[in-house]
Structures are given as C-alpha cells and as structure tokens.
Amino acid sequence: MSDYVEIYTDGACKGNPGPGGWGALLVCKGVERELWGGEPATTNNRMELMAAIRALGELKRACQVRLVTDSEYVMRGIQEWMPGWKKRGWKTSARQPVKNADLWQLLDEQVGRHQVTWEWVRGHTGHHGNERADQLANRGVDEVRRA
C-alpha cells in the first residue's frame, strides 16, 4: 500500500510579473513538512504551478496524493485543458503556444508518478492548509526580495 499524502499549495506574486514565491505543506501520517521558494521575476500562475511541481517532486516513491490548491488556473489546466494541449502538441485550441508549457510539462511528469486527487478551495477563507501554504509562498517572496 502506498503512502497517503495531503499537499496544500499556493503561489504569490508582488506585481504580476514581479518577485514571486511558492509554498507547500505536505502532511503524511501526522508529520508536516514545509517547502517554499521564490523567483525574482515571475508571475502568480508560474508560482502556483511551481508549488505543485516541487511538492510532488519531494515524494520519493509513488503515493496516493490529495492535492489542495486555491488556483483555478492549476485546477482547470490539469483537469480540463491539458488533454487537449497534449493532443495538439502543447498548443491551445487557437493553435497558440500554451503559456507556461515548460511548467505544465513538469507538472504532468510529476502527476504521472503518483495517484493524485485534486481539490480546489477558496483562498483566504481560514482553511488551515491553504493558509499555511499562503504563508510559505509569502516567505518565498520575502526571501527573494531580501536577496
């Protein structure tokens, strides 16, 4: 039986584009692990994607994952848009290159390693895991701005 892991992710950006950060809270068997990072010039959507990519990448073996995000962009991309993008060679229905295709491809690779259930929550409504991920993403922004 593979481990069951809950992951809460969030991205933040001060300006869009601007300095950005990502954060993730991983919970497995009651043990919590916090991850965060940032980039000096990025977008909120890229940071939302990075949070999920880096969190899934931390898992050393295949796991059952419940990934909770407040990003409609990530949710719709993974559940609605990605199958078409892949069929069209990472082009949109208008035959334009998919924005952030590099990160979508990395996320697709990470998702393929696990059994992932996606869940969307409204941000900033007091959801414990989402609030922690938001704090971690903002820590990532702060560290980039101080560097």
Give me the pLDDT at residue 1, please: 54
Torsion angle of C-alpha atoms 87, 90, 95, 96, degrees rounded to 10: 170
142 is catalytic: no
Say whether 108 counts as a known binding-site residue. no
Q: Tens digits of per-residue pLDDT, 46-86?
A: 999 999 999 999 999 999 999 999 999 999 999 999 999 99
114 is catalytic: no
Q: Tens digits of per-residue pLDDT, 7-55?
A: 999 999 999 899 999 999 999 999 999 999 999 999 999 999 999 999 9
pTM (whole model) above 0.85 = yes
Give me the pLDDT at residue 147, please: 84
48 is catalytic: yes
- Choose which CATH entry (3.30.420.10, 3.40.50.1380, 3.40.50.1580, 3.40.190.10) describes domain 4-146: 3.30.420.10
- The answer on pLDDT for 113 being more than 70 is yes
**How many of the other CB atoms lie within 10 Å of CB of 80?**
9
Say whether 134 counts as a known binding-site residue. yes
102 is catalytic: no
**Residue among 10, 20, 23, 38 flagged as catalytic:** 10
**Residue among 20, 37, 38, 48 flagged as catalytic:** 48
11 is catalytic: yes
